[in-house]
Amino acid sequence: MGYFKIVSIFVLVVLLFPSFHPKCGASASAEEAAALFKWKASFLNQNNSFLTSWNLQSGNAKNSSVLPCTWAGISCIDGSVNRLNLSDWSIKGSLYDFPFSSLPNLEYLDLSFNQIFGSIPKQIGNLSKLIYLDFWANELSGKIPPEICNLRNLTHLDFESNQLSGPIPVVMGNLISLQFLYLCQNNLTGAIPKSLGNLTNLIMLYLYENQLSGSIFKEVGDLKFLTDMELGENQLNGSIPISIGNLSNLKTLYLQNNQFSGSIPVTFGNLNRLVNLSLYQNHLSGLIPPVIGNLSSLQFLYLYQNNLTSAIPKSLDNLTNLIELDLSDNQLNGSIPVSIGNLSILEVLYLDTNQFSGPIPVTFGNLNRLVTLSLYQNQLFGPIPPVIGNLSSLQFLYLYQNNLTGAIPKSLELGNLNKLVVLRLFRNQFSGPLPELLCQSGILQNISVAENMLTGPIPKSLQSCSSLVRAHFNATLVVAKNNITGGIPPEIGNLTQLHTLNLSSTYLSGEIPKAVGKLASMLKLDLHDNQLTGGIPQELGVLME
């Protein structure tokens, strides 16, 4: 009897008070559709083909229980919008009429790669269920509203490539669920707030290309899940925190182009998962810590344009996964370690603009994947090792401004370096003749052997420089300030794409060949300080038209 009373009372309540049920989805959908349609009406481009489905059907949203859930770019749960993905939809407009207060169940908002301008309204804090927020590559300006801190469920926040200014809000440290934070490529100023140390779930932190200043907070070492930290291209200063050595999951660390000083922390030796380390264009001093050799996963190491001193540590030969190594423009000295020849997959090696002395290691002949070898502006001496001719992948060879001696080796003549594009050997002490088959690489377009002690004539085989006939960029041939004798070979007129020809300050004699007038692409011709005779050929006048 008691059970029957309870059931009867319940039925009666339901019949008399139908609003006892939760609000139906149709009414909620109608409100959301009207709000989104109002936002669409504010766009500057109303003929956007991506948004043709955004239609209220006779202007009355209440007559349709499925709007806006059938509109393109929208997903719903129980008739309410939970996902809005309009990435790369050519939208031109602002967020001022965006229905922040009318989408209570929105979890995913992607407006990336559009032309959305103006500031981010503070009402964005109303999207309390938001998990994913992406405004990448728009034209948003103004400050990041502090109300962003209300989005406590947010795991992904991307404001990359906008025009946002002002400081990073301190309250952003309240977003403790955040895993991905991209604020890079804006105009943000001020210090990186220490409160970001609270984001202990953070995996990626991208703040590069802003105007951030001050030092990196030591609490950054608490972000144990970080795999990528990119803070380059700012105005950060002070020393690099040793606590970064605690980030055992770190794979990418970019701190380049800032004003960091002091030494490279020894604790970096703990980052054994690191693949990319970029510290270039700072004011770092001291030696390269030998513990860098512990980073066995490292593929890219950029330390150039600092004030690093002493020798290259031998431990670098442990970095057998290195693809690019750039230590240029420092004050490193001593000899170049022969062990670098063990880095068998190395493709780029820049050691230029230092104080290295001694010979070029013969072991460099093992680097058969090397594309760029740059050793210029050092104090290297001795000959070019003939094994350099084994580097069949080499495209760029820079050895200028050293004290290298001897003849240019035959191995550079015989076409082994058939991918070579640039060869710069100027300001050394090379002797002997110009290589007879210098151009057999087939694509060599930039040759400078100036300011040496080369002798003999200009080889007629220059006509085989097909690359100087079909050059893709400014083709250059500079032989100035040598002991070259004889005449200018008429075959030089075959180099139809030559932009610069400098044969000045040599001992050339005879007349200027008329064939020089064929060099229709010539921008600079320098033949001064020679022993040439006769007049200037009329054909040269064509080059001045």
- The alpha carbons of the chain give a radius of gyration, in whole angstroms, of 33
Amino acid at 201: N
Tokens of 412: 């550079």
* Host H or E run for residue 486: strand 483-486
Check: CB of residue 365 under 8 Å from CB of residue 388. Answer: yes
Instruction: Look at the alpha carbons of 27, 30, 31, 32 in this order and tell me if their dihedral is positive or negative.
Output: positive
The strand ranges marked E within 65-136 are: 74-77, 80-85, 92-94, 108-110, 115-118, 132-134
Closest CA to 132 of 188, 92, 87: 87
- List Cβ neighbours of 2 (8 Å cut-off, separation of 6 or more): none
Please give the Cα distance from 513 to 19 (Å, whole number). Answer: 101
Neighbouring residues of 255: CB distance < 8 A, sequence distance ≥ 6: 231, 232, 236, 240, 278, 279, 282
Residue 49 CB coordination number (10 Å): 9
Q: Distance (Å, rounded) from C-alpha 407 to C-alpha 432?
A: 5
Per-residue pLDDT of the chain (545 residues; tens, 9 = 90+): 343 333 333 333 333 333 333 333 455 688 999 999 999 999 999 899 999 999 987 444 444 558 899 999 999 999 999 999 999 999 999 999 999 999 999 999 999 999 999 999 999 999 999 999 999 999 999 999 999 999 999 999 999 999 999 999 999 999 999 999 999 999 999 999 999 999 999 999 999 999 999 999 999 999 999 999 999 999 999 999 999 999 999 999 999 999 999 999 999 999 999 999 999 999 999 999 999 999 999 999 999 999 999 999 999 999 999 999 999 999 999 999 999 999 999 999 999 999 999 999 999 999 999 999 999 999 999 999 999 989 999 999 999 999 999 999 887 765 578 888 899 999 999 999 887 656 655 677 888 999 999 999 988 777 666 666 555 567 888 999 999 999 998 888 888 888 899 999 999 999 998 888 888 888 899 999 999 998 887 766 655 55
Burial label, 3 (beta-carbon count in 10 A; 0-12, 13-18, 19+): exposed
pLDDT at 3: 37
In angstroms, the CA 285 to CA 85 distance is 48
Domains of the chain: 311-388 (3.80.10.10), 407-545 (3.80.10.10)
Could you tell me how far CA 503 lies from the centroid of its own chain? 38
Contacts for 306 with CB less than 8 Å, ≥ 6 apart: 279, 280, 281, 282, 283, 284, 285, 329, 330
Q: What pLDDT shows up at residue 59?
A: 45
User: Does residue 508 contact residue 486 with C-beta atoms inside 8 Å?
Assistant: yes
Other beta carbons within 10 angstroms of residue 429's beta carbon come to: 13
The string of DSSP codes covering 418-485 is TT--EEE--SSEEEEEPPTTTTTTS---EEE--SSEEEEPPPGGGGG-GGGTS-SS-EEEE--SSEEE
Report yes or no: 424 and 450 within 8 Å, Cβ to Cβ.
Answer: no
Dihedral sign computed on CA atoms, order 500, 347, 184, 192: negative
Burial 219-233 (b: 16+ CB within 10 A, else e): bbbbbeebbbbbbbb
Quote the CA–CA distance of 399 and 420 in Å, as a whole number: 14
Question: Number of C-alpha atoms within 13 angstroms, CB side, residue 32?
Answer: 27
d(C-alpha 169, C-alpha 159), whole Å: 13
Q: Please name every residue paired with 132 in a beta bridge, in sequence order, or none if there are none.
A: 108, 156
Under the phi-then-psi rule, with left for phi > 0, alpha for psi from -120 to 50, and beta for the rest, what region is 272? alpha
Buried residues in 154-192 as b, exposed as e (16+ CB within 10 A): bbbbbbbbbebbeebbebbbbbeebebbbbbbbebeeeb
Which residues make Cβ contacts (< 8 Å) with residue 328, sequence separation at least 6?
304, 305, 350, 351, 352, 353, 354, 374
- Name the residue type at position 148: I
